[in-house]
Each structure stands twice: as C-alpha cells, then as structure tokens.
C-alpha cells in the first residue's frame, strides 16, 4: 500500500509541470462567469491618450499591443501587453492574470509591469453594458481603477485612473483596443 501511495505522489510530481503550462481554447465550463473575460481573447492594437496632469505629466498619445489567451485549463486568462515609448517616457510591458473566484463572488487579477510594480485587484462585470470594472492596489498604496467596455465585438474602449495615497490623480488615460483580424 505504501508503494502505491508513493507511486501516485511521484506521478503527480512528474506530470504536474506539463499540466501547469497548458492552454485552453475556451474558459472552464464549470465557472460560467469566466465567459465575460473571453472578450479579451486575441491579439490587439491599442491607441491611447494620457491626459496632462499639472506637476505630474505633460500628457501624450501612445500606441501598444496586447494579447490574451486561456491558461491552466481555462481557469485563468493571461494577458500580455507592450507600450511604445513617447518623448522622454520609456516603453514598458506587462502581464496580467485574471479569473473569477466563486468563493469571493468576484473577478480577481494580478498585474506585473516591467518597471517592477505589481498589483492585485478585484472586479465586477455589468452584463447590460458589457463592462468590466477593476480596482487594484499596489505595494505603495496607489489605487488603479480600470473600466473596459465592449460595445461591439473586437473593440474595447477603456479608461485607467490611478490615484496616490492622498487620493490625487497621478495617471488619467483613455484608449481603444482593436482586435486584429486572424
């Protein structure tokens, strides 16, 4: 009996690394709320405008790209993105992992940026407006609010507002992502 248990443990260790990297074409069917995140699937081109904020930023227009797909058996959506530099502002890239947590009854996200910043957030989905709203906090206490609306398939209009620990706006952007045709 001990040998059978040991073999099961070893088999789990050997097989697990391969399964941990699996991808899926669709979200996991046993969590229907994940379907809302499917709107992010694909390769995207992005254009956005960062508003001028006195003493913080001059404001600028930038371009970028994004790509998203299901991972880990369709339980999580991984999105990667890159933004071109503009003027004195360098380019940057990042990755986000998103899911729906049935226990919390909330969408959850984790963000990692090439600048070294990380954040964790929660979100809601409004089916009537096809809008996902995320609120995240980073280690410095900055709060990021992201609203993504999908009025039509293949098009995402979004806003991102970041406030510091005093509630002052330090980033205010709006943009549009357009899904590339296959």
The full set of domains in the chain, from first to last, is 23-179 (2.40.128.20)
pLDDT digits 0-9 by tens, 88-138: 778 999 999 999 999 999 999 999 999 999 999 999 999 999 999 999 999
pLDDT of residue 5: 38
Contact 72, 101 (CB under 8 A): no
Instruction: Name the nearest CA neighbour of 141 among 169, 116, 166, 160.
Output: 166
- Residues of the chain with pLDDT > 70, as a percent, come to 88
Per-residue confidence (pLDDT) for residue 22, from 0 to 100: 72
DSSP string, 106-159: EEEEEEEETTS-EEEEEEEEETTTTEEEEEEEETT--EEEEEEE-SSTTEEEEE
The answer for residues whose C-beta is within 8 angstroms of residue 68's C-beta and 6 or more apart is: 40, 41, 42, 44, 77, 78, 79, 80
Q: Tokens representing 104? A: 């919390």
Per-residue pLDDT band at 21 (split at 50, 70, 90): low
Enter the pTM of the model. 0.82
Q: What's the whole-number average pLDDT of the chain?
A: 87
State yes or no: pLDDT of 13 exceeds 90: no
Q: Regarding predicted confidence, which is higher, 176 or 2?
A: 176
Can you tell me the mean pLDDT for 22-44?
92
Please classify residue 168 by burial: count the beta carbons closer than 10 Å to its beta carbon, then call 0-12 exposed, 13-18 middle and 19+ buried. exposed
pLDDT above 70: residue 16 = no
How far is Cα 25 from Cα 76, in angstroms, rounded to an integer? 12
Res. 63: pLDDT tops 90 = yes
pLDDT at residue 15, as a whole number: 41
């Amino acid at each position: 009996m001990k040998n059978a248990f040991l073999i099961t443990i070893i088999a789990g260790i050997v097989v697990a690394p391969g399964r941990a990297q699996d991808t899926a074409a669709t979200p996991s069917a046993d969590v229907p709320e994940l379907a809302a995140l499917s709107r992010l699937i694909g390769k995207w081109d992005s254009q956005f405008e960062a508003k001028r904020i006195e003493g913080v930023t001059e404001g600028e227009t930038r371009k970028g790209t994004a790509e998203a797909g299901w991972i880990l058996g369709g339980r999580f959506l991984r999105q990667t993105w890159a933004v071109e530099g503009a003027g004195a502002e360098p380019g940057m890239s990042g990755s986000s992992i998103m899911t729906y947590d049935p226990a919390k009854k909330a969408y959850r996200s984790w963000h990692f940026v090439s600048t070294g910043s990380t954040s964790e957030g929660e979100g809601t989905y409004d089916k009537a407006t096809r809008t996902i709203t995320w609120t995240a906090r980073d280690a410095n206490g900055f709060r990021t609010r992201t609203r993504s609306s999908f009025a039509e398939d293949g098009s995402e209009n979004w806003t991102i507002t970041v406030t510091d620990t005093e509630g002052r706006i330090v980033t205010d952007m709006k943009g549009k992502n357009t899904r590339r045709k296959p």
